[in-house]
Amino acid sequence: MFSKACEYGIRAAVYITLQSLDGRRVSVNEIAEEIDSPMAFTAKILQQLTKNNIVDSVKGPTGGFEIEREAMDTVKLSKIVKAIDGDKIYVGCGLGLKECNADKPCPLHDKFIDVRSNLRTMLQSTSLYELATGLEVGLTYLKR
Amino acid sequence: MFSKACEYGIRAAVYITLQSLDGRRVSVNEIAEEIDSPMAFTAKILQQLTKNNIVDSVKGPTGGFEIEREAMDTVKLSKIVKAIDGDKIYVGCGLGLKECNADKPCPLHDKFIDVRSNLRTMLQSTSLYELATGLEVGLTYLKR
DNA sequence: TTAATAAAGGATAAATTTATCCGAATTAAA
DNA sequence: TTTAATTCGGATAAATTTATCCTTTATTAA
């Protein structure tokens, strides 16, 4: 469904959100450990999240990644997915056709529209804050 | 969503179904042309479909691929997807966790279940016959 | 001002997916 | 029985994704 990079990206963003709720800035090192992801690769993905203004980064000692309280609400999963995987997951044809639309649909077009809009709606309506609070309460997990 | 191999596989299977409805057996060459896919790669994928008893193949002159009338109804997309991409698309965790279930869910678990079961239901209920008939009537397309 | 810490960025490697090529096996038709 | 058409299977190549390493840049604190 999502690329590995995107999975790591979402998990990292949720972890940063969780820690930012406590006012803690976190390093790549800590993030990779806590979400069980490869360190250097995670660093690359965090660069993308930073460039896309999804999280903030601070260099130097005591530096690390954080996210503003407001962004926790405004950043939806769709923004992260789009930044890392692009929007092909909503936009593209399920069977890989370049031209596939209501006028010239692939055989799966109509059935796929449902599934995809379901997914899109879910991603567009789920905020980082929402995901982090489940973690905070100990209801959900980011590792293993 | 699906791998390229799987996209080609579904398109190929639908095309074979369409032609088998007319009693025509089709070669890899024709299939690749008609679904606009790379020939040799398509041949590999057709081997998988054959091994999984999704389509039948016949060697030699006048040989090619075909599908039995009954299989057109009983083979659902889920079978093709499973044969090529495996079942991670239904079974796996959306965030890539190995252990993710109702007991120890990832933050996206509940929301993902909806999307995924939507997809699974669609794939499990859509037969090759159903997809081919749209093509036959000229309502849907397999190229471009 | 210096040393240490952390992200940024570039180069490269490993793994996987996508794709091609070619000889072997099978089979129908000439 | 030979020839040609076709799938099958193995080897390999190209492209993309995943992952690592190392140097540079920024910044804090001693």
- Nearest C-alpha in A relative to B98: A144
Give pLDDT tens digits for B4-19. Answer: 999 999 999 999 999 9
- From chain B, pick out residues whose CB is under 8 angstroms from the CB of A1: 1, 89, 92, 94
pLDDT digits 0-9 by tens, B56-89: 999 999 999 999 999 999 999 999 999 999 988 8
Question: CA-nearest residue of chain A to B120?
Answer: A115
Unique residue bearing structure tokens 């499990």: B124
Q: Give me A66's structure tokens.
A: 């954080």
Where are the domains positioned within chain B? 4-84+126-136
- DSSP conformational letter for B128: H
Q: Which fold is adopted by the domain B4-84+126-136? A: Arc Repressor Mutant, subunit A (1.10.10)
- Interval A68-120: pLDDT, tens: 999 999 999 999 999 999 988 888 899 999 999 999 999 999 999 999 999 99
Residues lining strand C, beta carbon within 7 angstroms = A 26-29, 40, 43-44, 46-47, 50-51, 57-65; B 3-5, 8, 37-41, 43-44, 58-63
Range B46-51 contact pairs with CB under 8 angstroms and sequence separation of 24 or more: B46/B12, B48/B9, B48/B83, B48/B84, B49/B9, B49/B12, B49/B13, B49/B80, B49/B83
**Which nucleotide is closest, CA of A61 to its C1'?**
C5
Residue of A6, A111, A137 to mutate, testing the B interface (most B Cβ within 10 Å of its Cβ): A111
Out of 1.10.10.10, 1.10.3470.10, 3.30.10.20, 1.10.600.10, the CATH code matching A4-136 is 1.10.10.10
